[in-house]
Amino acid sequence: MGTKPSHTGISTTASDLEHAAYSPLPGHSSPASPRRPLKGFAGIISSCIFLLALVALILDQSQEPSHKPGKDEAPALTPKATSFSNISGPVARGVAQGVSAKSSPSFSGNELSYNWTNAMFSWQRTAFHFQPQRNWMNDPDGPLYHEGWYHLFYQYNPDSAVWGNITWGHAVSVDLIHWLYLPIAMFPDSWFDWNGVWTGSATILPGGQIVILYTGDTDNYVQVQNLAYPANLSDPLLLDWVKYPGNPVLVPPTGILPKDFRDPTTGWLGPDGKWRITVGSKVNGTGISLVYTTTNFTDYELLDNVLHAVPGTGMWECVDFYPVSINGTKGLDTSAGGPGVKHVLKASLDNTKLDYYALGTYFAENDTWVPDDPEQDVGIGLRYDYGRYYASKTFFDPVKERRILWGWINETDTANDDLAKGWSSLQTIPRTVLYDNNTGTNILQWPVEEVESLRLNSTDFDGVVVEPGSVVELDIGTATQLDILAEFEIESLGLEETNEVNGLCGSGATDRSSFGPFGLLVIADETLSELTPIYFRLANSSDGSLETYFCTDERRSSMASGVFKQVYGSTVPVLDGETLSMRILVDHSIVESFAQGGRRVISSRIYPTEAIYGAARLFLFNNATGVNVKATLKIWQMNSAFIHPFPLDQIH
Chain residues binding ligand DQQ by CB under 6 A are: 99, 138-139, 155, 166, 198-199, 215, 262-263, 317-318, 348, 390-391
Q: How far is the CB of 161 from ligand DQQ (least distance, A)?
A: 15
Nearer residue to ligand DQQ within complex by CB, 180 or 426: 426
In the complex with ligand DQQ, which residue's Cβ is closer, 166 or 629? 166
Give the residue closest to ligand DQQ by C-beta: 198
Sign of CA dihedral 633, 634, 639, 643: negative
User: Which residue's CB is nearer to ligand DQQ, number 260 or number 525?
Assistant: 260
Query: Is 139 marked active-site?
Result: yes
Least distance between ligand DQQ and beta carbon 408 (Å): 7
> What distance in Å separates the CA atoms of residue 398 and residue 332, rounded to the nearest whole number?
9
Closer CB to ligand DQQ, residue 94 or residue 569?
Answer: 94
**Cβ neighbours of residue 92 closer than 8 Å, sequence gap 6 or more:** 101, 102, 162, 163, 164, 415
DSSP string, 58-106: HHHHHTSS-SSTTSSSPPP-PPPS---TT---PPP-TGGGT--SS-SS-
Q: For strand 179-186 and strand 643-645, is the pairing parallel, antiparallel, or unpaired?
A: parallel
229 and 261 in contact (C-beta within 8 Å)? no
Q: Residue 427 to residues 128, 143, 408, 605: CA-CA distances in angstroms?
A: 10, 12, 5, 12
The count of other CB atoms within 10 Å of the CB of residue 301 is 10
User: How far, in Å, CA of 212 to CA of 227, rounded?
Assistant: 6
The reply to whether omega before 248 is within 30° of 0 (cis) is yes
- Cβ proximity to ligand DQQ: between 172 and 315 the closer is 315
Count of other CB atoms within 10 angstroms of residue 122: 18
Minimum CB separation of residue 398 from ligand DQQ in Å reads: 26
Q: Residue 390 CB, nearest distance to ligand DQQ (Å)?
A: 6
- With respect to ligand DQQ, which residue has the nearer C-beta, 390 or 619? 390
Q: Which is nearer to ligand DQQ, 407 or 508 (CB)?
A: 407
State the Cα–Cα distance between residues 248 and 190, nearest whole angstrom.
10
223-230 β-sheet, strand order:
197-204, 210-217, 223-230, 241-243
Phi, psi of 246 (to 5 degrees): -90, 10
Q: Are 593 and 602 in contact (CB under 8 A)?
A: yes
DSSP percent split of the chain into helix, strand, coil, nearest 5: 10, 40, 50
Strand pairing class (481-492; 580-587): antiparallel
DSSP 312: T
- 38-42 long-range contacts, Cβ below 8 Å, gap at least 24? 38/181, 38/182, 38/183, 38/184, 38/645, 39/183, 40/183, 40/648, 41/183, 41/239, 41/240, 41/648, 42/648, 42/649, 42/650, 42/651
- Taking the complex as a whole, the smallest distance from the CB of residue 135 to ligand DQQ amounts, in Å, to 13
Q: Within 13 A of 493's CA, how many CA atoms are on the CB side? A: 18
State the minimum distance, in angstroms, from the CB of residue 287 to ligand DQQ.
12
Minimum distance of ligand DQQ from residue 266's CB (angstroms)? 15
Min dist CB 112 to ligand DQQ, Å, is 25
Minimum CB distance to ligand DQQ smaller for 138 or for 160:
138
User: By C-beta, is 94 or 608 nearer to ligand DQQ?
Assistant: 94
Please give the Cα distance from 343 to 323 (Å, whole number): 4
Q: Is 76 exposed, middle or buried (0-12, 13-18, 19+ CB in 10 A)?
A: exposed
Supply the minimum distance, in Å, between the C-beta of residue 366 and ligand DQQ: 27
Spot the catalytic one: 72, 139, 260, 385: 139
Catalytic positions:
139
